[in-house]
Amino acid sequence: MAIMNENYSNLKESYLFSQIAAKVATYEKEHPDKKIIRMGIGDVTLPLAKVVVNAMKKAVEEMGVRETFRGYGPEQGYDFLHEALVKYYTKIGVHLETSEIFISDGAKSDCGNITDIFSDLNTILVPDPVYPVYVDTNIMRGRKIVYIQGTPENNFLPMPDNNIVADVIYLCSPNNPTGAAYTKEQLEEWVAYALKNDSVILYDAAYEAFITNPDIPRSIYVVEDAKKCAIELCSLSKTAGFTGTRCGYTVVPHALKRKSGNGTLMELNKMWLRRQTTKFNGVPYIIQRGAEAVFSEEGIKECGEILEFYRENARIMMATLDKKGIKYFGGIYSPYIWLQCPNGMSSWEFFDYLLETLAIVGTPGAGFGTMGEKYLRLTAFGSREGTIEAMQRIDKSL
């Protein structure tokens, strides 16, 4: 008899964004005349940069010619993309070896898959509110999860608590969902805490490209000794509009080692390589050529313009919220605006109000944890017209 992974019964009925999509689909069916403005899931709306499309077209052509055709690639990605990433990191003051970078189909998959190299006996530390993938993937493994609270008082940037001992720590900066970004000094505290407890930080940098202030870290590795305690996960989804194209990368430094129960030193880089070569066949060549183009001079410029478009959306949103006196976080180094629900509404009440009264889709803060109960997240990834119209609707009715 097959015995099932009963940890699945400890999960919520459905994944947050699937639950919202179902609600919106019902509303759409019942109100076909309403123009819905979607500011819920953080999905991009602008097309890929031209330089990226051209690189992929060229790669498609190569695949159709015997001399340049490629079959299985290296599971951890092609060196041309590793090299492009090494250069990208150098610009922000981080030196990496090509063998420390693993190309994947995105940060969400890697977030889940990386749990394979850790024992289920680990205690997992998660800030609340939090991207639900960190929690759900660990519930699936039956692991103990402890929470630290993000609050308006700490600007939704919780700091280590020496009364809590955790083995694996999830950090996301700029944060999903709150948009808050850690300073270097704050990350130094986290690194010191992880080193003291021999823990490993899983640092989600998926929104790093939104940072415009050189004093705010775009990588945890700007902190000394972070390579001894942190894995960094990143994605091209938001940096270059790859939500549908799928490409990301995970950095596992060679300096990251932990002792096994019998005292042998285990290199996490080797373990992850072993995991990936066994369970993954790599990202398609065509996509990796597109990703390489993202980090070219032209790619950085074109993608930069796209990011600036979304930043302007965020500014438009913040101006309306300021005008209405609605308190919010994020929006500066992030496409997310985390706002306090008006009139004491709960986050699902406000979600329903926005959908049913204004035909605007947000993401209820409670979906990210108990600390999100009185909050709602809006994204700046929409069209300009949609963003302006949504703000006009909010301005008139709230």
- The binding site for ligand MLT (CB under 6 A) comprises 41-43, 108, 131, 176, 237
Q: How far is the CB of 69 from ligand MLT (least distance, A)?
A: 33
Q: How far is the CB of 78 from ligand MLT (least distance, A)?
A: 24
Q: How far is the CB of 383 from ligand MLT (least distance, A)?
A: 17
Q: How far is the CB of 367 from ligand MLT (least distance, A)?
A: 9
Burial (CB count within 10 angstroms: exposed 0-12, middle 13-18, buried 19+), residue 146: middle
In the complex with ligand MLT, which residue's Cβ is closer, 170 or 285? 170
Q: How far is the CB of 88 from ligand MLT (least distance, A)?
A: 20
In the complex with ligand MLT, which residue's Cβ is closer, 131 or 249? 131
Q: How far is the CB of 43 from ligand MLT (least distance, A)?
A: 6
In the complex with ligand MLT, which residue's Cβ is closer, 160 or 382? 382
In the complex with ligand MLT, which residue's Cβ is closer, 191 or 366? 366
From 303, 295, 354, select the one nearest 326 (Cα to Cα): 354
Number of helical (H) and strand (E) elements in the chain, helices listed first? 12, 15
In the complex with ligand MLT, which residue's Cβ is closer, 131 or 170? 131
In the complex with ligand MLT, which residue's Cβ is closer, 43 or 349? 43
Residue nearest to ligand MLT (CB): 42
DSSP string of 257-310, one letter each residue: EEE-TTS-EEEHHHHHHHHHHHH-----HHHHHHHHHHTSHHHHHHHHHHHHHH
Helices (DSSP H) in the chain: which residue ranges? 16-30, 50-63, 79-91, 107-113, 132-139, 184-197, 236-240, 268-279, 285-294, 297-324, 347-358, 384-397
Measured distance CA(214)–CA(308) in Å, rounded: 16
- List, in sequence order, every residue forming a beta bridge with 169; answer none if it has no partner: 125, 201
For the beta carbon of residue 248, count every other beta carbon within 10 angstroms: 24
From 187, 181, 236, select the one nearest 213 (Cα to Cα): 181
